[in-house]
């Protein structure tokens, strides 16, 4: 699944292209596609809400020494 940040960025780029073109039909299509992407992005959370990885700190056993 694509993330909210990606979809929002793509919509912004499409709107930027729509402003730069002189073809009104192309501009309308780009704006429509940007609206579609924005509607896909809106229900998504702002950040990844998945499970977090546990904090893992490697331990040094008594027989091992680190070199400096």
| Residue 52: predicted pLDDT | 62
Number of helices (H) and strands (E), helices first, in the chain?
A: 2, 0
**In contact, 21 and 27? CB cutoff 8 Å:** yes
Query: Is 26 or 68 the better-scoring residue by pLDDT?
Result: 26
The pLDDT of residue 59:
64
Residue 4 pLDDT = 84
pTM (whole model) above 0.95: no
pLDDT in tens, 1-59: 678 888 899 999 999 999 999 999 999 999 999 999 999 888 776 665 556 666 666 66
Helices 24-41 and 4-20, axial angle in degrees (round to 10)? 170
């Amino acid at each position: 699944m694509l993330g909210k940040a990606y979809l929002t960025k793509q919509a912004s780029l499409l709107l930027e292209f729509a402003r730069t073109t002189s073809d009104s039909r192309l501009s309308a299509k780009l704006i429509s596609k940007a609206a579609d992407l924005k509607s896909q992005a809106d229900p998504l959370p702002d950040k990844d809400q998945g499970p977090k990885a546990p904090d893992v700190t490697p331990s040094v056993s008594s027989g091992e020494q680190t070199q400096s």
